[in-house]
Amino acid sequence: MQRETRRSNKERTEATRAALIEAARRLFVERGYAETATPDIVAAAGVTRGALYHHFADKQALFRAVVEQEAATIAVEIERRAPATLSAAEALLAGGDAYLDAMREPGRTRLLLLDGPAVLGREEMDAIDERHGNRTLREGLVAAMRRRDISNVPVDALTVLVGAAFDRAALAIDRGGDRDAFRLAMRALIEGLLDGGTRAHDGDG
């Protein structure tokens, strides 16, 4: 039969890739990466496995595209709720809440926090995070710690650790944990950083 509209190659590619990514996202979220078979993905997307392997090197590359898109979406939501008009400390807390809210969208914790690191490796997940969200977090943390003597605290490392705590909070909340409890715990962590740490342990064994 005849196609309704004659589409350019670029349009065809775009539509096929989008259909594959959307179908893959749904199934990866429902069943996890390993338990999702490519025949199911292409069936859901309405194409064949030939199309999949034409556009993506392998199943992992398709997964990477899904993860990248998801991370980009979340970054946009966070920047919307933590605009530059806020003070540093305010932006940090607002951004944190926005992150926890964004991660409540079903499947995101699985994609970004469980399967992502296992399938793509920490290396690559860090690169994705750095491209999208983590830079904002580090800048917010540094700015918010302005009043404190920072000279002995490695801020890059600290950023990573605070980010990990946020991730874990999102995971716990998604699993049914008390959202407010984890928000309070995150605040305790962050506020301890902002005005705490007056003791300077510089040298020890």
Partner DNA sequence: CAACTCACATACAGTCTGCATGTTTCCTTT
Partner DNA sequence: AAAGGAAACATGCAGACTGTATGTGAGTTG
- The site for a second copy (CB under 8 A) is made up of 32-34, 114-115, 117-119, 121-123, 152-154, 156-158, 160-165, 167-169, 171-172, 175, 177-178, 181-182, 184-189, 191-199, 201
Q: Where are the alpha helices (DSSP H) in 32-154?
A: 38-45, 49-55, 59-81, 88-102, 108-109, 116-132, 134-144
How many residues contact DNA, by CB under 7 A?
25
Structure-token match 């399938």, residue found: 119
C-alpha 68/C-alpha 112 separation (Å) is: 9
Structure-token match 């690559």, residue found: 124
Which of 48, 118, 121, 187 binds DNA (CB under 7 A)? It is: 48
- Two structure tokens written together for 71: 């991370």
Say which entry of a second copy, DNA, none residue 95 contacts (CB below 5 to 8 A, set by partner kind). Answer: none
Say which entry of DNA, a second copy, none residue 59 contacts (CB below 5 to 8 A, set by partner kind). Answer: DNA
C-alpha 33/C-alpha 27 separation (Å) is: 8
Residues near DNA (CB under 7 A) are 3, 6-10, 12-13, 16, 36-40, 47-51, 53-55, 58-60
